[in-house]
Amino acid sequence: MSEYRYLLIIGIFLWALLGYSAYYESTVPLYAFSAYLIFEALTNLRLTSLLKRFNKPQGTTQYAPKSNHESRLSEIEAGRVFRIIIAALIYASIALLPDLLWFMPWFIAGMLIMAGITNICPMHMFLRWAGLK
Amino acid sequence: MNRKNKLKKNLTGNWNGSIAIKITAVTIWAILVLSFLIITPFISEFEESTLKEFTWQQHQVETAIKKLYTTIPNEKKINKELDKLIKQFDILYIDLFDKNKHFERGISSPDNHPLSSNISAYTLNHQLYIEFPSLRKSINMQRLTIGSAVVGFSVFFSLFLFLLNRKIIHEPFNSIKNLTQRISHGENELRFDTERTDEFGIVSKFLNDMLDTIKQNQAELEIKNRKLTAEIRQREEALAATQQKSNFLANMSHEIRTPLASIIGYSERIRFGKAKDKNDEIRMLNIVLENSKHLLNLINDILDLSKVEANKLNIEKNEFSILKVIEHVRKLLNERALEKNIKFNINYQLPIPEKIINDSIRTKQIIINLASNAIRFTHNGKVEINVTYDAISDLLSICVIDSGIGMNETELQKLFMPFSQANASISPKFGGTGLGLTISKRLAELMHGDITAQSIKGLGSRFTCLIKAGYVSGEKMITELSKKDLEISEYERPVTDIMLSGKLLLIEDTFEIQQLVKSYLEDYGIEIDTANNGEIGLDLALKNNYDLILMDIQMPIMDGREAIQKLRQANYTKPVFALTADAITEHTDEFINLGFTKALTKPIVINDLIKSIKEYIPLSTDCSEKEVITNKSSNIVPHTLANKHASDDLSDLTEKYRKQLPAHIRDLKSLIHDNKLDEALAILHKFKGVGGSLGLPEITETAGIIANYLKNGNLDETYKCLAILEMEYPIVNPQTKTS
């Protein structure tokens, strides 16, 4: 599974969770989702990487070419930072400013779905431009 | 790489989709962001108003219930009014408690919601607990609806937009891309669709214009390139031709000067009486004659080449025996092969047609050229001529094989090029002008054949000449060789000497030629008048009754062209022969058209002259025809033959020669003993020539071998061969010699 197909799946999943949370007035699934993303980012035990390793033992987990931008950040993978940012935004929108940023999870879900469909993710592009690999 | 370029690369590097997807993505991002930015304030305002309305409703309900319990004492009426309130304000249920907080009664709506907000109201006797639907849930559901709608709409809109973009942008782009790819792969005739009126149509039009311009430029460039290439090739060819001609001239200079040196030198010696005796004088004359013939052959080759280059070389078909031609070549070249100690064999693979129809003179010329080359470039070993006939293709194959110096591939490639020999070192070493093979190949082609060459450096060469035999079915084929087939006397001696009776006018400005022709023809009994130019000649011709006029073309005062025209205009009907050094065929035709009866080329060959004039000058009544020896290649000079009526017939000559031979051998031994080798060689030379002329090839061959040994200083072998010659002497007898 490519990283972009994964983004499509977690986008749809987040969308479904938001519906559930709204209907049952429960934010627990969203916290759990954020926690999962943080787990993936910190441990690098990402589902896509695990699947890739399972299918291609010698394959790499990279889904985009290396950046030529030389910096300390170049050793950090954009995919991991991407997950942390998403988790942080979701957490902020449900725990810190729920009335102000209520749309943020919806927006994130929409962007994830779009990134999955188009293979173009502005956040990824930004992170790679910033020097992450 | 600066930051701007890096940004550009990293941003675009991740754009793996088509242009339609990119446009869609960008559009949808914008829509998503804008949607949330636009909707969020409205939602906040809506939620605020909803909260206010909710609070107001609560207040109204509370007030209404209080009023109800205060003003209406009837329980039934109160219940009825409460039902109205529940319906009016969408209240879930209202619980009533008494003053002691004991549940008294409850009124609820049909719907039951697990989450809800509530208010408490108090009356005089009751406490009211009013349950409303959940405000938070209501807001959340509203957000769910809006969020889902925006995201869903964005997704579906993006798909629609993608399809639209694909149709509007991607497909035309893709079409242009595919066409560009095909054009870049060489399909230059393809053009873009210009039916669209949008930017793609305009771009397509520009691209088509660009392709047309490129094609036009390319065509122009190709033409220019072709012209330049042709010019370069012409220049290179011209340079090569110039170089070859320079080399050729250098060779020619050598080839011409060498015999000229001999001619001038020996002529001066004879002229100033430096000859030791009569034999020495004959020897010198022979050398002069041989060198003159060599020069003549050289000039003929050059003329032939000029005809080849002008495509004017023609062949004259006649019926002849190929065996006799080849045997004549054998006779001609055998001596040269013997001088070099080379075996010279001719093999016939029978059957061969007795007569073939082609140009006998040119055939002979080709074979002589190939065979003499083979002998020239062979130092030891052998030269073979293999003759075969292929009945299916009607081609006669004459294959000349030698064990000579051979050639490599490069030398073979330029072998048939005019003015070129296999390499530059050949001419100085071996002689030759490099014209023979070019002429021979062209001649063979004209005779519907070809000449091919194979060679191995150091081992030898093989030249195969194919010519069309022109064999007619039913004609006789030679299946077994007989002496008659190889007899060449008929071929060699076609000319008969005759005594003529007539009067001839020679118009010639060169005194020497006048004297020469006069001396030739007076021997045949012809009375000759001479004139130094056309004007005098014209006058003489009209005043006297000549049987024939021989007229030079280039003369002072009045040239041959003008003179013949005036003669013909004066109704002069007698034959007039042109004597010209111009051997170009078209010029010969021109002379005939001017009014000349025939054109004879210089140098004048007496036999040809006699053959031509005897058709117009009557035979002498007191002289019978007598056969004479006219071997052109022999060492007997024509004028000597012309004087033959001072001697006897051929048998008398043979007898005389037979009688003189022992004395000659003795003289020869004596000269060798006295180390007078030049004189000995002169006698041997005489042996060769006279022997051949009298049909005694054994004498000629042996004399050639002796001469060769003598030149190499091998006296032992010379004496041995002289002994052989003495032993052969009895054979030289008219009664025993049959060949």
Rounded Cα distance between A76 and A131, Å, is 9
Q: Do A25 and B7 touch (CB under 8 A)?
A: no
Higher per-residue pLDDT: A7 or B605:
A7
Q: What is the chain B residue with the closest CA to A120?
A: B15
A121 inside 8 A of chain B by CB: yes
Say how many CA atoms lie within 13 Å of B515 toward its Cβ.
3
Strand, helix or coil at B622? Answer: coil
Helix (H) or strand (E) holding B456: strand B450-456
pLDDT, one tens digit per residue, over B206-243 is 989 998 998 889 889 999 998 999 889 888 888 888 88
Lowest mean pLDDT among A51-60, B42-51, B613-622, B671-680: A51-60
Structure tokens at B319: 């019926």
Q: Do B144 and A103 touch (CB under 8 A)?
A: no
* Residues B239-261, mean pLDDT to the nearest whole number: 76
Beta pairing partners, B398: B387, B465
Q: Do A19 and B144 touch (CB under 8 A)?
A: yes
Higher per-residue pLDDT: B380 or B584:
B380
B154 inside 8 A of chain A by CB: yes
Residues 6+ apart with CB under 8 A from B360: B318, B320, B325
Rounded Cα distance between B451 and B440, Å, is 8
Lowest mean pLDDT among B137-151, B310-324, B474-488: B474-488
String of DSSP letters for B645-682: GGS--HHHHHHHHHHHHHHHHHHHHHHHHTT-HHHHHH
Rounded Cα distance between B549 and B577, Å, is 6
pLDDT, position B3: 54
pLDDT, one tens digit per residue, over B287-338 is 888 788 878 877 887 887 777 777 777 788 888 888 888 888 888 888 888 8
A111 inside 8 A of chain B by CB: yes
| DSSP designation for B618 | P
- Could you tell me if A68 and B1 are in contact, meaning their C-beta atoms sit under 8 angstroms apart? yes
Mean pLDDT, chain B, whole residue set: 76
Cα B105 to Cα B268, B327, B421, distances in angstroms: 171, 154, 138
Q: Write the secondary structure of A17-44 as one string of H (helix), E (strand) and C (coil).
A: HHHHHHHHCCCHHHHHHHHHHHHHHHHC
Q: Which of A102, A110, A121 sits opposite B154 (nearest CB)?
A: A110
Cα B96 to Cα B55, B91, B109, B737, distances in angstroms: 21, 14, 15, 173
Structure tokens at B17: 């989709």
Distance from CA of A127 to the nearest CA of B (A): 10
Q: Do A22 and B36 touch (CB under 8 A)?
A: no
CA angle B480, B485, B489 (to 5 degrees): 165
CB contacts under 8 A, A 7-26 vs B, are 15, 18-19, 21-23, 25
pLDDT in tens, chain A (133 residues): 677 788 889 999 998 999 888 888 788 999 999 999 999 888 887 777 777 776 665 544 444 554 454 445 556 788 889 999 999 999 999 888 887 888 889 889 988 888 888 777 888 888 888 888 7
Burial of residue A18 (number of CB atoms within 10 Å: 0-12, 13-18, 19+):
buried
pLDDT, position A35: 93
Q: Do B17 and A120 touch (CB under 8 A)?
A: yes
Rounded Cα distance between B643 and A26, Å, is 148
Distance from CA of B409 to the nearest CA of A (A): 59
Residue with tokens 């050398």: B287
pLDDT, position B590: 81
A114 inside 8 A of chain B by CB: yes
Across B698-735, b (16+ Cβ under 10 Å) vs e yields ebbbbbbbbbbbbeeeeeeebeebbeebeeeeeebeee
Q: What is the chain A residue with the closest CA to B139?
A: A22
pLDDT, position B706: 80
Whole-model pTM above 0.90? no
Residues 6+ apart with CB under 8 A from B33: A107
Helix axes A47-55, A3-24, angle to 10 degrees: 140
Distance from CA of B10 to the nearest CA of A (A): 6
Across the beta sheet with B103-108, the strand order is: B103-108, B93-97, B127-133, B116-122
B5 inside 8 A of chain A by CB: no
B157 inside 8 A of chain A by CB: no
B10 inside 8 A of chain A by CB: yes
A125 inside 8 A of chain B by CB: yes
Lowest mean pLDDT among B126-130, B204-208, B392-396: B126-130
- Could you tell me if A82 and A123 are in contact, meaning their C-beta atoms sit under 8 angstroms apart? yes
Using a CB-CB cut-off of 8 Å, the residues of chain A touching B154 are 110, 114
Across the beta sheet with B450-456, the strand order is: B343-349, B382-390, B395-402, B460-468, B450-456
Using a CB-CB cut-off of 8 Å, the residues of chain B touching A113 are 151, 155
Lowest mean pLDDT among B126-135, B223-232, B440-449, B526-535: B126-135
String of DSSP letters for B479-508: -S--HHHH--HHHH---EE--B-EEEEEE-
